Amino acid sequence: MAARAAGLHTYSPSLTLLLPFFHRQTGLGTSFFCFNRLSSTARLSSTAKLSAAAVRSQAKRGFSFKEDEVASPADLHFEAPLKIVEYPDPILRAKNKRIDMFDENLKKLVDVMFDLMYKTDGIGLSAPQVGINVQLMVFNPVGEPGEGEEIVLVNPRVNKYSKKMVLFNEGCLSFPRIHADVERPESVKIDARDINGARFTVNLSGLPARVFQHEFDHLQGILFFDRMTEEVLDSIRGDLQALENKYEDKTGLLSPERIETRKRKNVAVGFGKS
Ligand SMILES: [Zn+2]
């Protein structure tokens, strides 16, 4: 997820407790996300009702623990420097494998992802966005090295979404210079493994919940425009087409998806349990 050039957007700090082991670095157990660069102009929208169909469609795209394939060392192999994979590269829609090796290679990958995230002014980054189809995300809502908290989540799952929905202007490193409103639950209860493989559960709300959900979608091959209303989508349609054209020029391949031929209501929305 990308921060806007004008500074980190919207959000009123209603932070829930973050557990000490949630932090990448040790010794930071008492510090919390820093919100002092944020303004509190988040707009609350009406509570959304999840239809059974929406939840089912999400479940189809989502993962169940049992079905997930485990990543092999080859799946996790990478060579620095990594580059951001941009829409409409099919890597962003590919299935992401579960990680069960918490070794030095994984720690190196996390370091490289944080470096790239900061360099590109991001506040969150998922592994598929650097071409590695595994269930890993990193984020730091402050977006500055040495500030805020660096969060690493491996094989995350959502246990619970709040009924309260919030509209927020999102960016995405895989969609350079595109920003648009996306509605998501205000808070989530998740479980995941940390960089050492330890399982934990945590409640997130506000900006951390927002960044988490954006990156969690990446791990399921869902992109932020999949969740935009048709009206909002219309405002960025030309930008998406420009990226599709850029991909075709660069690769000599046809764009694997086109916003123009996307069927209305054909894309998964709703927030089912994973
Ligand atoms: Zn993104």
Question: What span, in angstroms and rounded, lies between the C-alpha atoms of 78 and 136?
Answer: 14
**pLDDT tens per residue across span 58-68:** 444 444 555 78
Sheet of 136-139: strand order equals 124-126, 136-139, 151-161, 187-193, 199-205
Domains and CATH numbers, the chain: 3-261 (3.90.45.10)
pTM: 0.78
- The conformation of residue 127, written as its DSSP 8-state character, comes to G
Ligand 1 center to residue 62 CA distance, Å?
17
- Contacts for 53-59: CB closer than 8 Å, 24+ residues apart: 53/270, 54/268, 54/269, 54/270, 54/272, 55/270, 55/271, 55/272, 55/273, 56/272, 57/268, 57/269, 57/270, 58/268, 58/269, 58/270, 58/271, 58/272, 59/272, 59/273
**pLDDT tens per residue across span 144-193:** 999 999 999 999 999 999 999 999 999 999 999 999 999 999 999 999 99
Which of 215, 230, 244, 248 is catalytic? The answer is 215
pLDDT of residue 9: 40
Q: What φ, ψ does residue 73 adopt, rounded to 5°?
A: -55, -35
Per-residue pLDDT of the chain (274 residues; tens, 9 = 90+): 887 543 344 333 333 333 333 334 333 332 222 222 222 223 323 333 333 444 444 444 444 555 789 999 999 999 989 999 999 999 999 999 999 999 999 999 999 999 999 999 999 999 999 999 999 999 999 999 999 999 999 999 999 999 999 999 999 999 999 999 999 999 999 999 999 999 999 999 999 999 999 999 999 999 999 999 999 999 999 999 999 999 999 999 999 999 999 876 555 556 765 4
Considering only the C-alpha atoms of the chain, give the largest distance between any 2 of them, rounded to a whole number of Å. Answer: 51
To the query of whether residue 215 is one of the catalytic residues in this protein, the response is yes
Which regions of 107-172 does DSSP assign to beta strands (E)?
124-126, 136-139, 151-161, 165-172
Ligand 1 center to residue 202 CA distance, Å?
22
Ligand 1 center to residue 232 CA distance, Å?
17
Ligand 1 center to residue 211 CA distance, Å?
9
